[in-house]
A and B are shown apart, each in its own frame.
With several copies, the nearest count.
Chain A
């Protein structure tokens, strides 16, 4: 029985932390927020060399062949620093290929994701806040994929889009190359500038090699993987928000003492800690189920995301509020975490969705 991390995993964590401190501190993140793609080729190259992009891709396909628990370690640390690199999208694209792809498709594409030469993303739903097969609307007529796909994560940086669509009688995943005529991408202005979404406008003919079958189980699996990944980033980001606010509460003197001396402040910080510890535990469990207990994944993912969605959103708001006016300024970092918490809340299901799912899976 060992519900903790191995030495290797702790080393990986240190590695990511060093990377974030040296190469991608918040000053750098703020630059990238204003850039066109929202990401940076040089950081991308480093992440590639460190092997994070192919972490869950088997060695046979050019990856490292580790597990989602290892990925969690990476995402927790990149989330802590609001790293804008599209590691989640890259991983979900890989997960989609691994789950639904033919051997040929895997052979062709997984290595290009593992070596970072392609930036992948997975676009499942056409409705903004509905995790359900019926929320896949884009339709494939014969071999022609025509229409728009909204809410595509990391659309600014991605060049390999894996897009859910439907024929008259089944769901499919379409593999779309950014650099083909009939594909255009419009990046949308978002509250959280570290997370670009875009709208894909498509009018392309697809070869069979560009299509993968998608069962509703696959769809649920990929959504759960997304929920696990977002929750892992949220753990790190929430811990950073708590650390920033705690440090402020110790330094900020008002009426003669640090504001952190007053229970109105310190108790709220303690409650943040309780929440973070809790959805952290649930997030580790959920990550573990992906590879080691897939049957438990749906419930585990919903337990974690249900708790994390609302708790992190609350932490984002209270973190800013506990700072007083200063926290409210663009110059201060705490507000970046509030924006991240609002981004994370609905991704792959908000708390309404996941609590209801917990109830249903729990026999109600």
Chain B
């Protein structure tokens, strides 16, 4: 057991640190020029799509180097390495694995260069976490598919240029998961309508997307017709170690510590209240557990062992921490903690109040805690299925 990295990996870490030192100004001085500049520079380094094969423009970075890059960037609070988040997370890997040479040539560079942003059209009304029951229809007509139907909870749809879409092309497949096809669709295609959904925090990250006789060239089909399921699953299965997330959680913990050190409550400093200290320590222990869980799973990957559902463990920790840390911050300061941005007594300019309403996907999205519990109980502990997943 050791936490040392190989000389090669250490050298890479030094390279990343040097780059950050040279190119990352303090947060205050980061204007839009800086960002464009930054994106170009990290692109030149091939740190965007770092894990992707060289031939498509990646760097074929090792798992250890990926972890190092993530960790250093997170530690430096660096801006993202690319702005096409879904493109980098889901679409790129999918195209690399299943795409035609033309599709790779056409789509990958724009993702790496942050020129085109993507969203993912999986969920549908009434079929939240049940992807296999997709109803949106795709009918082949000559060299096009004509798409009709509706998607929902499509994150990023309000500003996305393209969408990776699952449609049903066969309503009577022999195998349950067959008959679904994966299409790459230009959001500007006639018949695509986006209706943003406002969440309880007043934001509009996600949307309903309606498709009415939308014509999609067959050339934009990803993978074989009827095999869209496997395309998606392998994309979703594209699990990475949670090193980056953990670093962010530790940062959040630090801001929380700063808050309790500067909050007077019940006549004394919150940081001196033993129940407050206990709560913060509980957060720290959980986050530390996520860190060392993550390192154990990373080690498995490094040894070439497949990651089973263990990643659900950290997902469950994150889901509870994401809700509890903000809620705790809000609860510390009574009504002041509930004042929004411009409130006279607002705490942290309302950021905690806002965050306490802005739950990430890990809490509310597909893989909610109850689903993670089932995954662990059934796939790891081997308990019988109850049909709820």
A and B touch in the complex (CB under 8 A): yes
A230 to B95, alpha carbons, bound, how many Å?
Answer: 50
**For the complex, is B51 an interface residue (Cβ under 8 Å from A)?**
no
| Pairs A–B under 8 Å by Cβ, sample size 23 | A1-B298, A4-B296, A128-B345, A129-B334, A130-B265, A132-B266, A190-B339, A264-B373, A264-B388, A266-B378, A266-B383, A269-B383, A278-B293, A281-B296, A282-B288, A285-B292, A288-B1, A288-B3, A303-B289, A338-B200, A346-B335, A364-B261, A364-B281
**For the complex, is B128 an interface residue (Cβ under 8 Å from A)?**
yes
Residues A190 and B384 in contact in the complex (CB < 8 Å), given A129-B332, A274-B316, A324-B368 = no
**For the complex, is A23 an interface residue (Cβ under 8 Å from B)?**
no
**For the complex, is B130 an interface residue (Cβ under 8 Å from A)?**
yes
Closest to B292 in A: A281
Instruction: Give the residues from 328 to 364 in chain A that come closer than 8 angstroms, CB to CB, to chain B.
Output: 328-331, 335, 338-339, 342-343, 345-347, 350, 352-353, 355-356, 358-360, 362-364
**For the complex, is B26 an interface residue (Cβ under 8 Å from A)?**
no
**For the complex, is A41 an interface residue (Cβ under 8 Å from B)?**
no
**For the complex, is A121 an interface residue (Cβ under 8 Å from B)?**
no
**B387 CB contact (under 8 Å) in A250, A256, A331:** A256
- Minimum CB–CB distance from B65 to chain A (whole Å) comes to 11
Closest to A150 in B: B345
- Is B340's CB under 8 angstroms from A281's CB? no
**For the complex, is A279 an interface residue (Cβ under 8 Å from B)?**
yes
- Is B384's CB under 8 angstroms from A261's CB? yes
Contacting residues, chain A, for B285 (C-beta < 8 A): 282, 303, 306-307, 355, 358
- Is B300's CB under 8 angstroms from A267's CB? no
- Is A277's CB under 8 angstroms from B373's CB? no
Interface string of B373-389 (1 = CB under 8 A from A): 11011101111111111
- Is A325's CB under 8 angstroms from B364's CB? yes
Residues A262 and B1 in contact in the complex (CB < 8 Å), given A273-B380, A282-B288, A328-B364 = no
Count A-side interface residues using an 8 Å CB cutoff: 90
**For the complex, is A197 an interface residue (Cβ under 8 Å from B)?**
yes
A359 to B373, alpha carbons, bound, how many Å?
Answer: 30
- Is A261's CB under 8 angstroms from B281's CB? no
What 4 A-B pairs have minimum CB-CB distances, sorted nearest first? Answer: A129-B334, A128-B334, A281-B292, A346-B334
- Minimum CB–CB distance from A179 to chain B (whole Å) comes to 22
A199 to B198, alpha carbons, bound, how many Å?
Answer: 29
Closest to B340 in A: A189
**For the complex, is B64 an interface residue (Cβ under 8 Å from A)?**
yes
A193 to B336, alpha carbons, bound, how many Å?
Answer: 14
Closest to B319 in A: A321
Contacting residues, chain A, for B389 (C-beta < 8 A): 255
- Is B299's CB under 8 angstroms from A331's CB? no
- Is A364's CB under 8 angstroms from B277's CB? yes
Contacting residues, chain B, for A350 (C-beta < 8 A): 331, 334
A303 to B289, alpha carbons, bound, how many Å?
Answer: 8
**For the complex, is B302 an interface residue (Cβ under 8 Å from A)?**
yes
Contacting residues, chain A, for B323 (C-beta < 8 A): 317, 321
Closest to A355 in B: B281
**For the complex, is A246 an interface residue (Cβ under 8 Å from B)?**
yes
- Is B382's CB under 8 angstroms from A250's CB? yes
**B388 CB contact (under 8 Å) in A263, A279, A324:** A263
- Is B200's CB under 8 angstroms from A4's CB? no
**For the complex, is A209 an interface residue (Cβ under 8 Å from B)?**
no
Contacting residues, chain B, for A128 (C-beta < 8 A): 333-337, 345
Closest to B128 in A: A324
- Minimum CB–CB distance from B339 to chain A (whole Å) comes to 5
Residues A281 and B370 in contact in the complex (CB < 8 Å), given A132-B267, A250-B382 = no
Residues A339 and B275 in contact in the complex (CB < 8 Å), given A150-B345, A317-B327 = no
**For the complex, is A244 an interface residue (Cβ under 8 Å from B)?**
no
- Is A328's CB under 8 angstroms from B200's CB? yes
Interface string of B258-293 (1 = CB under 8 A from A): 001100111100010111011011101110111011
Pick the interface stretch among B14-22, B135-143, B157-165, B352-360: B352-360
Closest to B324 in A: A317
Closest to A343 in B: B338
**For the complex, is A69 an interface residue (Cβ under 8 Å from B)?**
yes
Contacting residues, chain A, for B340 (C-beta < 8 A): 189-191
Closest to B123 in A: A325
- Is B197's CB under 8 angstroms from A246's CB? no
Closest to B345 in A: A150
Instruction: Give the residues from 99 to 130 in chain A that come closer than 8 angstroms, CB to CB, to chain B.
Output: 127-130
**B342 CB contact (under 8 Å) in A6, A189, A327, A360:** A189
Interface string of A249-279 (1 = CB under 8 A from B): 1100111111111111111011101100111
**For the complex, is A177 an interface residue (Cβ under 8 Å from B)?**
no
Contacting residues, chain B, for A190 (C-beta < 8 A): 335, 338-340, 343
**For the complex, is A57 an interface residue (Cβ under 8 Å from B)?**
no
Contacting residues, chain A, for B363 (C-beta < 8 A): 321
Contacting residues, chain A, for B3 (C-beta < 8 A): 1, 3, 288
- Is B374's CB under 8 angstroms from A270's CB? yes
- Is B265's CB under 8 angstroms from A4's CB? no
Contacting residues, chain B, for A329 (C-beta < 8 A): 197-200
Contacting residues, chain A, for B388 (C-beta < 8 A): 254-255, 257, 259, 262-264
